[in-house]
């Protein structure tokens, strides 16, 4: 007798990795998953529904979910039969790029509210049920920037560092309940959102930023970032395939990077032609950031 399909709740499915993951799981030839694909704004569900095709209403359901709202999380879970989630995929996230002086604290707090506290909120909601059933899998879409910071991405990297520390700590105590945590760490992912973000910040003013830093950002960082995405960027489909394998693993890994062509050192080299961050300081010293 075949096992019952596992209920998979995915946040951030209006586009990108979340959309591709939801569709791939819903189209699983063995029909092992019942996917609840969520997004904050249901007005953006058209692309997902079109990609889902015949799976829509069968192995895939679209639901509203704002990870920054306790009420929204509770309402979403109440629509799931029994409120039971077998696999939670924390994918919803926002980015923030630019010189620190030109970024508002409100914008920084929004990054943490979504990327970190949004993930924590969802885990708190589904964890009691997983513990009662003595089984579950929590997948976190982190980033290689959760392992190594990248210039002009300080706040985004900090939110991913926080996720890495939180979920690595939580993973240890959950093993006794047969609940696994997997941190998936993509490098650059080529999405429409990322392209728009880089285009927007290329013309942003960033008030309060000194001319040298602004020149470094516009003349070096932005061109290097575009080249990096072009050379080693992955598609959302490729990243989703890795996550599908992680979800299907009998013994899910704690960490899985998705792109062997990219390392944080790649990004540092791209924006540090002088080598000062890599251990070749202007004064001839070796204050190596990576040591």
Is the separation of the CB atoms in 139 and 93 below 8 Å? no
Q: Tell which phi-psi region holds residue 111, choosing left (phi > 0), alpha (psi between -120 and 50) or beta.
A: alpha
Instruction: Encode pLDDT of 63-88 as tens digits.
Output: 999 999 999 999 999 999 877 999 99
Residue of 156, 216, 221, 262 marked active site: 156
Residue 76 CA to residue 239 CA, distance in Å, equals 26
Q: 90: closest CA among 172, 153, 162?
A: 162
Q: Which residues contact 219 (CB under 8 A, 6 or more apart)?
A: none
Least confident of 34-48, 215-229, 257-271: 257-271
Q: Which domains does the chain have, with CATH numbers?
A: 6-261 (3.40.50.720)
pLDDT of residue 290: 35
Q: Using 50, 70 and 90 to split pLDDT, how confident is the model at 200? A: confident
Annotate the chain with DSSP letters as a single string: -PPPPEEEEES--SSHHHHHHHHHHHT-TT--EEEEEEES-GGG-HHHHHHHGGGBTTTEEEEE--TT-HHHHHHHHHTSGGG--SEEEE-------S-GGGS-HHHHHHHHHHHTHHHHHHHHHHHHHHHHHT-EEEEEE--GGGTS--TT-HHHHHHHHHHHHHHHHHHHHHGGGTEEEEEEE---B--HHHHHHHHHHHH---TT--HHHHHIIIIIIHHHHHHHHHHHPBPHHHHHHHHHHHHH-SS--SEEES-TT--HHHHHHHH-TT-TTTT--TTS----TT-
pLDDT of residue 234: 92
Instruction: Encode pLDDT of 96-140 as tens digits.
Output: 999 999 999 999 999 999 999 999 999 999 999 999 999 999 999
Average pLDDT over residues 2-24: 94
Q: Which residues contact 112 (CB under 8 A, 6 or more apart)?
A: 155, 158, 159, 162
The pair of three-digit structure tokens given for residue 168, joined into one six-digit string: 């690595």
Query: How many percent of the chain have pLDDT more than 90?
Result: 76
Q: Is 156 a catalytic residue?
A: yes
Looking at the DSSP bridge assignments, the partners of residue 136 are 179
Q: 33: closest CA among 71, 102, 114, 89?
A: 89
């Amino acid at each position: 007798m075949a096992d019952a399909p596992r209920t998979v709740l995915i946040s951030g499915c209006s586009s990108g990795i979340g959309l591709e993951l939801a569709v791939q799981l819903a189209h699983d030839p063995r029909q092992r998953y019942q996917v609840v694909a969520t997004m904050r704004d249901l007005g953006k569900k058209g692309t997902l529904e079109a990609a889902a095709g015949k799976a829509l209403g069968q192995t895939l359901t679209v639901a509203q979910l704002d990870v920054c709202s306790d009420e929204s999380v509770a309402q979403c879970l109440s629509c799931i039969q029994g409120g039971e989630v077998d696999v939670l995929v924390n994918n919803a996230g926002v980015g923030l790029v630019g010189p620190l002086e030109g970024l508002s604290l409100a914008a920084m707090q929004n990054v943490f509210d979504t990327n970190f506290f949004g993930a924590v909120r969802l885990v708190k909601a589904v964890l009691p049920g997983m513990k009662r059933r003595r089984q579950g899998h929590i997948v976190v879409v982190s980033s290689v920037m959760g392992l190594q910071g990248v210039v002009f991405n300080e706040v985004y990297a900090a939110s991913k560092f926080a996720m890495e520390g939180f979920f690595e700590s939580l993973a240890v105590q959950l093993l006794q309940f047969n609940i696994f945590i997997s941190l998936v760490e993509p490098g650059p992912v080529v999405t429409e959102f990322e392209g728009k973000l880089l285009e927007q910040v290329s013309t942003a003013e960033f008030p309060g930023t000194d001319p040298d830093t602004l020149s470094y950002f516009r003349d070096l960082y932005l061109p290097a970032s575009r080249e990096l995405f072009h050379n080693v960027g992955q598609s959302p489909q490729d990243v989703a395939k890795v996550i599908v394998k992680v979800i299907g693993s009998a013994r899910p890994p704690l960490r899985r990077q998705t792109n062997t062509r990219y390392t944080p050192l790649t990004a540092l080299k791209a924006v540090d032609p002088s080598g000062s961050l890599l251990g070749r300081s202007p004064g001839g010293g070796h204050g190596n950031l990576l040591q």
